[in-house]
Structure 1
Amino acid sequence: MTTATVSLEHAWTDSELSDLAHLKAVNEQLPEDSPRALLSVRLSVLTDDTTSPVRQELDLWRKANDDRVRVVGVARDLNVSATKVPPWKRKELGRWLNDRSPEFDVLMFWKLDRFVRRILDLQVIINWCQEYGKNLKSLHDPIDLSSTMGKTIVSLIAGMAEIEAANTGVRVASLWQHAKTQDAWIIGRPSYGYVTAKGKDGKVRLAIDPLGHKVLRWAYGAALRGVSASKMAKVLNRAGIPGANGGKWTSTTILIQLRNPAIKGVRVEVDGRSGRNRSKEVLDSKGNQIKVAKPILDQEEFNKLQHALDRASRTNENPWTPGATKFLGVIVCRNCKGNYTVRTSTSRGVRYKYLRCRVCGGKGTKPEELYAALVEAVLEELGNHPVEYREYARGAENRDQLRQVEASIKYYMEGLAPGGRFDRGGFVKETAEETLQSLLNQLDEIDPESTKDRWVLTHGGRTYQEQWETGGMEAMSHDLARAGIKFEVGYSESNELEADLLIPEDVRERLVIREDAFKTGF
């Protein structure tokens, strides 16, 4: 029985669903010991010139039935670039490759450029297939990893796909350069406070978003009154106003929007820097601003805003330093679930550090005290747990042994049956019966699970407390984050610090160390 389900990301017609049901019914009639196939469907953008994911999937089901392989799943990754995202990092296919690889033997795809477009990515996949005993099959390419010639053909096809991808990249870069000089909006995501809309001339232009306009004008007035960015974020979050990217507001996201010259209605570009001043104006050939929309703030208001922000920043020039916070993502606020981060402040010439919620602010606490409380709680709960590693065990050798033993048992049972070759009595029959019993004992000793490809857990010979004593807080922070462990911090009615360690029920499974099978070394 297959486990494949129908994708809801792209509409299927009644006729296509009927075809799929028929193909699945045929596939389910294949023997249980048939090779198992995973179908991979990928598409960057659906246009009239591309092959729809529905057609790709139906074609792959037909190919699977022709090759007599059982389909155990379909990995559908739509709106994903094969150039930018390698197979093992895609949402659905990545889950199969990293965690469910024992469940399939063959990875099937419609065409090589639908699967991978970079030669390095292809080479990583080929090495992975050889190590894990998998094969690749393409509907439209002569791919066969069992032969040297087949691997060579795969590399040549991928090389051509990479050249085409590079040419596409050049065309896109050229389009961006052209778009920067136009007052119409050709490509890209508008800055916060603006949306795209068609003008009277039919061209797409920027228009002011009412909610974004209201937020930015309010933040402008608040900044001139000396309100801090963290206070603004707290007010906006309490009001339920979504942030620029749909999440919660933080002091950083507030400052990014207020520092962005785009709120003057001019063309900007990101200059590659991170931080709050990462956007700069684009000038035309004469050195003038390129107007693309009505301004939310005019030039005079923008200058006043920057002066107010500069004045506020001088009182605390570097309040937050990337990398300074230990257990980032683990220590969170009980109220808003925001991250606790290390802040710095100066009072009477003395500079000191404290931990507090980066979203809603609130009272701070000494980092050392909170870190010590977290470490103590974690060691008490998890310190004695053994460090476990996940390894891939192939069942091919035991499968061959099982087939050989079963064939030998069948041979002797037929020989001992009435009229069989060993049904002679005396020494011949006794010897055959002893051999048959020995084979039956061997059969009992073969664990059925050992004949399957599977994940097995091995112990590293030490506990997590021993590992963390060696690796320090950095190692503990990494393990807690990947296990989804949280240390929620809040304050009681009497303003006393309280904290709760929240551990998922499947923490031992999450803590298992999984080797990266797709590391490239580059």
Structure 2
Amino acid sequence: MGRGAKRAVSAQQRQQQYDVDAEWSPADLKLLKDLKRAEAQLPEDAPRALLSIRLSVLTDETTSPVRQELDLRILARDMGVRVIGVASDLNVSATKVPPWKRKQLGDWLNNRAPEFDVLLFWKLDRFVRRLSDLSTMIDWCLKYGKNLVSKNDAIDLTTVVGKVMITLIGGIAEIEAANTSTRVTSLWDYAKTQAEWLVGKPPYGYKTVVDENGRTVLAIDETAYKVLHWSRRRASKISASRQVRIIKRAGVPGSEGLTTSTHLRRLRNPALMGYRVEEDRSGVGRKSKLILGKDGKPIKVAEAVFTEDEFAQLGRDLDRWGKNQPARQEGGATKFLGVFVCEDCDTNITVQVTTTKGVQYKYMRCSGCKGGGAGVNDPDGVNAALVRDVLKVLGDEPVLVREYAKGAEALKRKNQLEESVSYYMKGLEPGGRFARTSFTQEQAEETLNQLIDELATIDPESTKDRWVNAANGKTFREHWEAGGMEAMAADLLRVGVTCKVTRTKIPGQRQPAVHLKLRIPKDYRDRLVIKEDDFASKL
């Protein structure tokens, strides 16, 4: 290949913006040019196509993204549709990442739906690998009036075969979901009663090994064993939070992200006595409880890390430390986490709760300043001040919801009016059917003026599929009064609103002076618009 050809290939690669190297040969570039030339001949109102290209790994055995794009452009030409975009998601697993969560295709599906009419993909396994994902995409296409076409599979929502496929796929997906749920539940129920370790992640302190009979069983992890017994011996002398700091400083493998709550959960897990456990969902927080066998006794699955006496004493030691702490509050003590930001260190301000001599204290502190900065012991008052400021600035803004508006009806009426106008204008020309008498001419001119007036009222944008913001009749003040501080906090985070908190020490007083400064993005009105997530409930 000559130097000039190489430059052309490189430029084309940059234009396609593939995530991995994809070589365009001179023949590929010539074909692409020919296809674009043919596309330029399409009428202005030709349907618009989005090409979806995906590969998990680019190898010699896979169909390259270049080949996929060219094949899909040929399909678009044969269908008479104009290619308006290429969603290229390479090095992406279709099993793990559904279409709506992929970087490029997801942006088109969630934000740019009005820009295309048909979604083309090369083959079903290049688009999705799970029937439930395909069923979700079919539902989405039917909702927004899009077509879904595969080059190498009988999937086309405008054909009879395609519609039959929808019914079949929907039924199969429903059966698959029900069967999967039944199989998983049955497997877990069976596994809970077995001494052999059939499924699941081993509890901290153990690892899985294969015994002499070829069965997978639990064995003690020596490193975790040493950490757990060190923690047990120190539990009466040092707090769990200090234990975590020491464990991290010691460089224990896997301790980089260890937190106090995780460490306590590990120490209180009855699985450390070698018993089978399951998660207790009856209260707040994550806890484990013993599973009893048919004889009413705990099911033994491994050698014990702690004896029952050691485990009981450890629990009592941990309880003594915990008596100085309040019960965990569901939802947390910090109402506006991520909204309150320290002016000095630019880190989040949180509410820390402690109990001393039976009295509960709450302090607002940051994580960047020394000692958390000057503690503010009136978080409820600060929250109330923020609420007042937000309501003053944003409370009267109307709640707008993004809705999908189809332009088919307006376009149909616009075309009818244009045809009627042309008909009457031609009839009013000298020698035309309406120019023969003064009466017919006056009637035709009156009708023509009415048609022109109606045509002028049609907004050209209304003839296109588009997003529109519709008011739901409420203000954000009313919206937040119904949803409370949690709803306000969620909206402020979504919009990107922050509140800078300045704490100034006052001589002779413990409580610092607090100054709040609300920071609202310039495009806050656009960000306030509530956008329905079509895929929110999908995994």
Give the TM-score range, shorter chain.
0.5 to 0.7
Q: 1:388 aligns with which of 400, 403, 420?
A: 400
Aligned pairs (5 A) from 1:265-280: 271=279, 275=285
Aligned pairs (5 A) from 1:422-433: 422=432, 427=437, 430=441
Which residue matches 2:517? 500
Distance 2:505 2:72 in 1: 62
Query: Given the superposition, is the C-alpha separation of residues 169 and 425 from structure 1 closer, same or farther in structure 2, using an over 3 Å criterion?
Result: closer
| Residue 349, structure 1, aligned to residue 358, structure 2 | yes
Distance 2:72 2:276 in 1: 45
Q: Render the CA deviation track for 1:25-60: whole Å, top value 9, x for unaligned.
A: 6247523322112333456x6598996673784243
Q: Is the 8 A contact 1:324 1:342 kept in 2?
A: no
Which residue matches 1:26? 35
Q: Render the CA deviation track for 1:428-462: whole Å, top value 9, x for unaligned.
A: 89566666555444443321111111122223344
Aligned pairs (5 A) from 1:169-248: 226-227=238-239, 229=241
Q: 2:145 aligns with which of 112, 133, 137?
A: 133
| Residue 407, structure 1, aligned to residue 419, structure 2 | yes
Q: Is the 8 A contact 1:392 1:454 kept in 2?
A: yes
Distance 1:24 1:175 in 2: 56
Distance 1:474 1:25 in 2: 56
Q: Which amino acid aligns with 1:508?
A: R
Please report how far the alpha carbon of residue 81 of structure 1 lies from its aligned counterpart in structure 2 after TM superposition. Answer: 3.1
Q: Which structure 2 residue ranges, 5 or more long, are not aligned?
A: 1-14, 208-218, 292-298
Which residue matches 2:350? 340
Please report how far the alpha carbon of residue 166 of structure 1 lies from its aligned counterpart in structure 2 after TM superposition. Answer: 8.8
Distance 1:128 1:236 in 2: 50
Which residue matches 1:70? 82
Q: Which amino acid aligns with 2:335?
A: F
Which residue matches 1:200? none
Which residue matches 1:107? 119
Aligned pairs (5 A) from 1:21-100: 22-23=31-32, 26-27=35-36, 29-30=38-39, 31=42, 32-41=44-53, 46=57, 54=65, 57-58=68-69, 59-71=71-83, 72-74=85-87, 76=89, 78-81=92-95, 87-88=99-100, 92-100=104-112
Report the count of equivalent residues.
492
Please report how far the alpha carbon of residue 467 of structure 1 lies from its aligned counterpart in structure 2 after TM superposition. Answer: 3.0
Aligned pairs (5 A) from 1:146-165: 146=158, 150-157=162-169, 159-160=171-172
Aligned pairs (5 A) from 1:280-429: 309-316=318-325, 318=327, 320-325=328-333, 327-334=335-342, 335=345, 337-338=347-348, 340-341=350-351, 343=353, 345-350=354-359, 352=360, 354-357=362-365, 362=372, 363=375, 365-411=377-423, 422=432, 427=437
Q: Is the 8 A contact 2:275 2:300 kept in 1?
A: no
Distance 2:64 2:179 in 1: 24
Partner SS for 2:518: strand
Partner SS for 1:14: coil
Which residue matches 1:444? 456
Query: Given the superposition, is the C-alpha separation of residues 88 and 424 from structure 1 closer, same or farther in structure 2, using an over 3 Å criterion?
Result: closer
Distance 1:441 1:168 in 2: 60
Q: Is the 8 A contact 2:400 2:469 kept in 1?
A: yes
Q: Which structure 1 residue ranges, 5 or more long, are not aligned?
A: 196-205, 282-286
TM-score (norm 2): 0.66
Distance 1:49 1:94 in 2: 27
Partner SS for 2:45: coil
Query: Given the superposition, is the C-alpha separation of residues 161 and 19 from structure 1 closer, same or farther in structure 2, using an over 3 Å criterion?
Result: farther
Distance 2:54 2:196 in 1: 33
Partner SS for 1:38: strand
Which residue matches 2:17? 6
Q: Is the 8 A contact 1:226 1:308 kept in 2?
A: no
| Residue 117, structure 1, aligned to residue 96, structure 2 | no
Which residue matches 1:198? none
TM-score (norm 1): 0.68
Which residue matches 1:511? 528
Q: Is the 8 A contact 1:116 1:158 kept in 2?
A: no
Q: Is the 8 A contact 1:106 1:134 kept in 2?
A: yes
Distance 1:171 1:41 in 2: 33
Query: Given the superposition, is the C-alpha separation of residues 130 and 289 from structure 1 closer, same or farther in structure 2, using an over 3 Å criterion?
Result: closer
Q: Is the 8 A contact 2:155 2:162 kept in 1?
A: yes
Distance 1:253 1:81 in 2: 31
Distance 2:26 2:175 in 1: 36
Distance 1:192 1:505 in 2: 48
Which residue matches 2:261? 252
Distance 1:70 1:512 in 2: 31
Q: Is the 8 A contact 2:351 2:365 kept in 1?
A: yes
Q: Which amino acid aligns with 1:395?
A: G
